[in-house]
């Protein structure tokens, strides 16, 4: 039975749009990143060192892939209204967890393997690449997949799988990848990882610590190959020893702990869906016979405005009552505090620098703010547009006398709350950092300008994302197309 269930999982995933988009994404980036790394002029383009470097940077996309696959694979019963049938079958929690988790891992490995195919193909199309090529050695690519990529996939899949099992929320599962990124960059910054530009100066002990806590193995790879000669980088794969071995062992152990926790706590029941008691008898609504067609009522401008305000209130209430939204806000606050905090650090032989408002805004206005907000908005736009269809309520909204534009504008106004809220949090954290070091020249005009220079582009992005999702035949396709311009 276990084999049949696993075969079914693989067939399910290979028929999803997310699978084909994952194949295309990793094939595309594998092809075009080959020969683009910094040492390509000194090393063979397909040397084990550069192959590992390309794959490790591609591995930073793993949380997004596993989040989407976990949402599709774990929550499909709730989305398709078949949870009762699945839970009432002879399927045990152990088989449920094993087959669906392994299915996510195998599909992720298959997507990442496409990068190896296109990386080897790129060496046969050397136009536009400066560097030498040697004959491809497939096991070099396989070694990187086994030592670095597979443990990272297992870890990210475990986190997304646990999030899906216990939250039963598609959006929370999608955003679990964002949580992994935030924790990764914050820990790398505070331990002084050599991969973070503004991290603290890295001494040997700090480098070792960074190598051990890096879930993707990037720091471990850099530490272990730091003093390799070009000859070693051209001919040797990274051995499974030293900091690489310790790093992989630690994170495989973390993965096992997460999955054991899921196995111990997860139950195949419907308690997460309904906590109320049975409906009292005798209060069932009576059927009403309709003898003639009911005319569609006319609706004037005042009524349209009333519908708009009601829809906005409902959407905003849904947003503010969601623990996922507040989780995003907390992650944003932590990430922002970690990004601004280095302004208060004083290194040896450095003169103290004041955390002026302009320096604080430079830390996040042009890079962190748009990327973080766009990542969140792409998922929230998809969730908000497709919610009625997933709940089978779209027929009611389509048949209502209110115009479609009313519902579109209500979603836009509700989504506009997200960047405005996050910008406000950024302003408050910036002021708090200034106060913490005794700097009180806040320059309110600069902070207020953030709502225009940072907020207006995000509002335009919301409009684009909504437009794409309305026209897209599938939520996943809509998310990919929405993210392409950015």
Over the stretch 317-346, which tens digit does the pLDDT of each residue have?
888 888 888 888 888 888 888 788 777 765
pTM for the model stands at: 0.74
Confidence of residue 39 (pLDDT cuts 50, 70, 90): low
User: Which residue has better confidence, 396 or 387?
Assistant: 387
Cβ pair 454, 423 in contact under 8 A: yes
Q: Where are the domains of the chain?
A: 2-265, 301-483
What is the DSSP-derived secondary structure letter of residue 392?
A: T
**Per-residue confidence (pLDDT) for residue 398, from 0 to 100:** 66
State the average pLDDT over residues 224-233.
Answer: 87
| Sequence-separated (6 or more) residues with CB below 8 Å from residue 328 | 175, 178, 376
Confidence of residue 41 (pLDDT cuts 50, 70, 90): low
Cβ pair 360, 343 in contact under 8 A: yes
pLDDT tens per residue, range 269-290: 765 543 444 444 445 455 455 5
User: Which residue has better confidence, 343 or 462?
Assistant: 462
Burial class of residue 299, CB neighbours in 10 A (0-12, 13-18, 19+)? middle
CA distance 248 to 251: 5
Where do runs of H (alpha helix) occur along 34-92?
Answer: 48-58, 62-74, 76-79, 83-87
What is the DSSP-derived secondary structure letter of residue 148?
A: I
| Sequence-separated (6 or more) residues with CB below 8 Å from residue 175 | 67, 324, 327, 328, 376, 379
CA distance 112 to 30: 9
Cβ pair 125, 224 in contact under 8 A: no
State the average pLDDT over residues 360-366.
Answer: 86
SS3 226: coil
């Amino acid at each position: 039975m276990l084999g049949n269930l696993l075969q079914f999982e693989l067939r399910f995933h290979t028929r999803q749009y997310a699978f084909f988009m994952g194949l295309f994404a990793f094939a595309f980036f594998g092809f075009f990143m080959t020969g683009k790394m910094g040492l390509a002029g000194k090393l063979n383009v397909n040397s084990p060192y550069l192959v590992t470097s390309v794959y490790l940077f591609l591995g930073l996309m793993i949380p997004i892939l596993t989040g989407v696959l976990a949402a599709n694979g774990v929550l499909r019963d709730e989305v398709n209204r078949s949870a009762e049938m699945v839970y009432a079958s002879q399927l045990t929690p152990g088989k449920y967890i094993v087959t669906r988790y392994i299915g996510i891992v195998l599909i992720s490995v298959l997507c990442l393997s496409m990068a190896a195919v296109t990386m080897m193909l790129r060496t046969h199309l050397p136009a536009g690449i400066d560097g030498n090529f040697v004959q491809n050695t497939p096991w070099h690519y396989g070694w990187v997949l086994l030592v670095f990529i597979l443990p990272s996939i297992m870890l990210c899949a475990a986190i997304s799988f646990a999030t899906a099992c216990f939250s039963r929320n598609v959006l929370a599962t999608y955003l679990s990848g964002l949580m992994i990124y935030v924790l990764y960059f914050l820990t790398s910054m505070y331990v002084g990882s050599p991969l973070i530009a503004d991290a603290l100066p890295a001494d040997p002990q700090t480098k070792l610590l960074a190598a051990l806590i890096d879930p993707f193995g990037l720091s471990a790879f850099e530490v272990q190959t730091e003093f390799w000669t070009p000859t070693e980088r051209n001919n040797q794969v990274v051995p499974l020893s030293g900091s690489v071995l310790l790093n992989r062992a630690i994170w495989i152990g973390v993965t096992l702990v997460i999955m054991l926790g899921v196995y111990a706590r997860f139950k195949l029941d419907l308690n997460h869906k309904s906590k109320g008691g049975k409906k009292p008898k005798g209060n069932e609504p009576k059927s009403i016979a309709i003898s003639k067609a009911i005319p569609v009522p006319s609706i004037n401008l005042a009524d349209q405005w009333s519908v708009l305000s009601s829809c906005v209130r409902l959407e905003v209430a849904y947003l503010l009552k969601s623990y996922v939204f507040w989780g995003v806000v907390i992650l944003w606050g932590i990430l922002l505090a970690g990004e601004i905090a280095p302004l208060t650090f004083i290194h040896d032989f450095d003169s103290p620098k004041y955390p002026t408002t302009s320096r604080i805004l430079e830390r996040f206005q042009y890079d962190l703010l748009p990327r973080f907000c766009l990542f969140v908005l792409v998922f929230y736009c998809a969730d908000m547009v497709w919610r009625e269809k997933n709940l089978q309520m779209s027929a009611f909204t389509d048949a209502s006398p209110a115009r479609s534009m009313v519902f579109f504008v209500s979603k836009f106004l509700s989504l506009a709350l997200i960047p405005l809220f996050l910008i406000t949090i950024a302003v408050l954290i910036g002021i708090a950092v200034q106060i913490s070091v005794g700097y009180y020249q806040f320059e309110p005009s600069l902070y207020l300008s953030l709502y225009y220079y940072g907020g207006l582009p995000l509002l335009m992005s919301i409009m684009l994302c909504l437009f794409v999702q309305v026209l897209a035949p599938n939520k996943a396709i809509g998310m990919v197309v929405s993210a392409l311009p950015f």
